[in-house]
A and B are shown apart, each in its own frame.
Chain A
Amino acid sequence: MPRLALAALLALLLWGCSNSSRSSGDLRSTKERKAAPAFTLKDSSGAAVKLADYKGKVVLLNFWATWCGPCQIEIPWFIEFEQKYRDRDFAVLGVSFDDDGWISVRPYMTAHKINYRVMIGSDHLSQLYGGVDALPTSFIIDRSGRIAATHVGLVDKRDYQNEILKLLEDPQAALDGAGAAARLALLVRPDQRPGRP
């Protein structure tokens, strides 16, 4: 029988290659905010989800995957936020980075009763958002479509909640939002301006 002589050891370093965790903690000032890159993706029902259509709303854009433990902690919070604030011009959008796409994501959505829209991400989308190399990564987007906060890694639920509420209650941001501006125009008709006879 032939014998084997092996180079007996392969040594590998499995480095975590992510950037260190970065989390803004607070909302960026309006001047510091940059526009959230536009995208159009399909949700689990096949309907197109266009980020631009959410102008006027506060959006929590969450990049996640079914295999990501910290993401699993956040998802029930997002379900709660969606339920609690959807009537106040707020929406959660989930973007999964599972390699096998809907094969893993659809059953997960059903099992966890996810009540917000979920799409499948791509390398291109990741690059648009600065190269998302760790999950979860979430972006809090103001009513004008600008990124007000970025969170990489698991964040305290209260941080999310405070940021969402601040943006929902910020009158200046509301004025910037297209949807809100349209509503104000309806409320203040020319013949109702103060001081007009």
Chain B
Amino acid sequence: MTGTADAAVALQLREGYHVNSNTPSDAYFIPLRLTWSPGPVEAVAVLFPKPQMEKLAFSEKPVSIFTGSFEVVTKFKAAAGAPLGQNVVTGKLRYQACNDRMCLPPRTLDLSLPVEVVK
């Protein structure tokens, strides 16, 4: 048995809105970020879907974005000596959304994920 597991954060955006991808095409744009606090389990990788490259009304070149519904998957590993039983791992999702004409301020959402470490 391995000590790893995947968890997906499913995101759904309002129609017409997008968030910058984790690798924005403009250095000034705020990337989508998912981070997890250290605890009994550790995030070993955060996997984003392939971004869409779209030319928007305000952009001269295509921009790297996510729209609609998508998932960000985190690969977790139980820390060595992690205590058995129920626990919670907390994280933060930072995003910044725009539509074709305007942008909303960046937001950070607190996430909390129940985990159980078993023998």
Bound: A11/B3 CA distance, A: 24
Q: A128: shortest Cβ distance to chain B, in Å?
A: 17
A109-158 CB contacts (< 8 Å) to partner B: 133-136, 152-154
Of A6, A97, A154, which contacts B58 at CB under 8 A?
Answer: A154
* B118 lies within 8 A of A73 (CB): no
Q: What chain B residues lie within 8 Å of A67 (beta carbons)?
A: 28-30, 96, 103, 106
Chain B 79-99, CB-CB to A under 8 Å as 1, else 0, gives 000101000000001011111
Residue of A nearest to B107 (CB): A14
B68-119 CB contacts (< 8 Å) to partner A: 76-78, 82, 84, 93, 95-107, 109, 111, 113-119
Main secondary structure of the interface of B (DSSP, over half): strand
* B26 lies within 8 A of A69 (CB): yes
| Residue B53 CB within 8 A of the other chain | no
Bound: A154/B58 CA distance, A: 8
Most buried by A among B9, B59, B98, B114: B98
| Residue A101 CB within 8 A of the other chain | no
The count of residues in chain A whose C-beta lies closer than 8 Å to any C-beta of chain B is 39
* B117 lies within 8 A of A68 (CB): no
* A11 lies within 8 A of B103 (CB): no
Number of A-B contacts (CB under 8 A): 150
The count of residues in chain B whose C-beta lies closer than 8 Å to any C-beta of chain A is 55
Chain B 1-30, CB-CB to A under 8 Å as 1, else 0, gives 111111111111110110100000010111
Residue of B nearest to A152 (CB): B102
Of A14, A66, A69, A135, which contacts B95 at CB under 8 A?
Answer: A14
* B7 lies within 8 A of A8 (CB): yes
Bound: A96/B97 CA distance, A: 17
Q: What chain A residues lie within 8 Å of B57 (beta carbons)?
A: 70, 154
Q: A12: shortest Cβ distance to chain B, in Å?
A: 5
* B104 lies within 8 A of A17 (CB): yes
* A12 lies within 8 A of B102 (CB): no
Bound: A2/B97 CA distance, A: 39
* B113 lies within 8 A of A7 (CB): yes
Q: A172: shortest Cβ distance to chain B, in Å?
A: 32
* A69 lies within 8 A of B8 (CB): no
Residue of B nearest to A15 (CB): B14
A1-57 CB contacts (< 8 Å) to partner B: 1-18, 21
A residues with CB within 8 A of B: 1-18, 21, 65-73, 97, 99, 104, 108, 133-136, 152-154
Q: A4-B5, A70-B103, A99-B106 are in contact. List 6 more A-B contacts (CB 8 A).
A: A2-B84, A3-B1, A10-B111, A66-B28, A73-B58, A154-B101
Write 19 A-B pairs (CB below 8 A) sorted by A numbering.
A1-B2, A1-B3, A3-B1, A3-B117, A4-B117, A6-B6, A7-B7, A10-B7, A10-B8, A12-B12, A14-B17, A16-B17, A16-B99, A65-B103, A66-B28, A67-B103, A69-B56, A71-B103, A154-B57
